[in-house]
Amino acid sequence: MSYTPHVQTLSAQVSVTAQLEPADMAWAAANGYRSVINNRPDFEGGDDQPTNAAMAAAAQVAGLSYAFLPVEPSFQSTEEVAQFAKLLTTLPAPVLAFCRSGTRSGKLYLAAAADR
């Protein structure tokens, strides 16, 4: 990896960032993250976007827990918020969630935190 992802820390246990690449899974593990949540649907950004399968495989190699919870950018349902909240209680922390820009992952976190 030739850059450091811009990570926004939302709590002691949760951070969000923009689209990651498979090589970034090693960076995440080296920086103390224990889990990654992918909130971006496959091919949302076209054929050059890494797929869920590629990201999951890289996370496994890096020793990270990984979850795929694809949500649309403009709308996150109550069911998706509940699923995100459940992931936050079941995945090893700290967790790094990502989407195209980090915004929808942040929205999911804020909605899940408000429901607690």
Q: What is the pLDDT of residues 13-69, one digit of tens each?
A: 999 999 999 999 999 999 999 999 999 999 998 998 999 999 999 999 999 999 999
* Residues in Cβ contact with 74 at an 8 Å cutoff, skipping those fewer than 6 apart: none
Please report the domains of the chain, with CATH numbers, ordered by start residue: 7-114 (3.90.190.10)
Beta carbons of 18 and 5 less than 8 angstroms apart: yes
Strand locations in 1-116 (E): 7-9, 14-17, 35-38, 65-68, 95-98
Per-residue pLDDT, averaged over 74-91, amounts to 96
